[in-house]
Amino acid sequence: MPKSKRNKVVALSKTKKKDREWKEGLVTQVRNAVDSYPNVYVFKFHNMRNEKFKELRDELKDSSRFLMGSNKMLQVALGKTEADEYRANLHLLSARLKGHVGLLFTKLPRDEVVRVMGQFEHEDYARPGSLAIADFSLSAGPLSGPRGPMVHTMEPQLRKHGLPTRLNKGVVELLADHTVGGRRGAAQTQGRAAVAAQELGDGPASFASGEAPPRGAGPLPAGAMGHQRAVLVCRAGKPLDPNQAALLRAFEIKMATFRFTLLAAWSEDGDAYESLAEDEEEDEEEGEGDEDGGGGFEGFEGVEMVGVGGASE
């Protein structure tokens, strides 16, 4: 049946469709980088933070270049099979482009790359969807954070995110033992929903408000809270909902670490390929990801390519 000429979909966006010429330009860009740099690495990023990533790009701008975006476009540029690979064994590197990954083209020696990428870590607040690395609990009564008693102006925000709080002569108080977060991430509050007080003394380990979580994954040793009844804001290993993430930020608890993992390397010296690490499961914060990559962090969407030392190219 012929297509109706009366019913037309009119795009209100001013963004131009990425045509074949544009995509060919990206392929050329990747292949030029292969010709310009002797070493290529596939890296995986965890809990991407744009500002810190830009600092790393600026640090390495004289010797290296980062490219990331659509994994499919990067695979086409390198070659998916032996028959269409741009250089020998690049199809092996191409096969590692899955999930939240990118390419690093560099003139630095292997040990220097491993050192820089391995030491790069930045702790930040976890976002909704990421996994809690430790239990976090609050006791009924006056609330405090790492800087001392909770500021009275924070009380409405805490109440907004599900904590049953009140102001008592300028002091923020938690009215009752309470659990934030339910099956679907809803806040359960005493009086408005089921009371979810828990005795944590003999249960999972936790840390009280005002204490920082341990570095790395896993809770503190059992008994850290004694035998107080406490509010369990989040549980280690469970995804955070928006309310839980906001409360962790309010109490200055950082549970996310922006870091890199080198997965594979290719060198023009003998066209040698080497696997450096096994593929890992996707971080909860970035989601499961897809074959296309991109869109896993703010600022770099779709097939946009990013070069070190400059804006998006």
Indicate if the pLDDT at residue 265 is higher than 60.
Answer: yes
- Residue 73's pLDDT is 92
What domains sit in the chain, N to C, each tagged with a CATH number? Answer: 20-124+257-275 (3.30.70.1730), 136-254 (no CATH)
- Residue-wise pLDDT for 66-118, tens only, equals 998 889 999 999 999 999 999 999 999 999 999 999 999 999 999 999 999 99
- Is residue 85 within 8 A of residue 94, CB to CB? The reply is yes
Supply the pLDDT for residue 26. 86
Residue 258: how many other CB atoms lie within 10 Å: 20
Number of Cβ within 10 Å of residue 118's Cβ equals 12
CA dihedral sign, ordered 153, 156, 161, 162? positive
Residue 309 scores a pLDDT above 50 = no
For 273-286, how does the pLDDT look when each residue is reduced to its tens digit (9 = 90+)?
999 988 766 655 55
Each residue's pLDDT tens digit, 210-240: 444 444 433 333 333 333 456 789 999 999 9
More confident residue, 6 or 48: 48
Identify the pLDDT of residue 282.
60
Half-sphere exposure of 68 (CA within 13 A, CB side): 27
Q: Which of 14-18, 238-242, 252-256, 272-276 has the lowest mean pLDDT?
A: 14-18
- pLDDT for 121-139, tens place per residue? 999 999 999 999 999 988 8
Reported confidence tier of residue 19, pLDDT bands at 50, 70, 90:
confident
Q: What is the pLDDT of residues 204-214, one digit of tens each?
A: 334 344 444 44
Q: What percent of the chain has pLDDT over 90?
A: 54
pLDDT at 205: 35
Higher pLDDT, 181 or 264: 264
**Mean pLDDT, residues 21-34:** 88
The C-alpha angle 126, 132, 135, rounded to 5 degrees, equals: 125
Confidence (pLDDT) at 167: 93
pLDDT value of position 94:
95
Supply the mean pLDDT for the chain: 77
pTM of this structure: 0.70
Judge contact between 88 and 271, C-beta under 8 A: yes
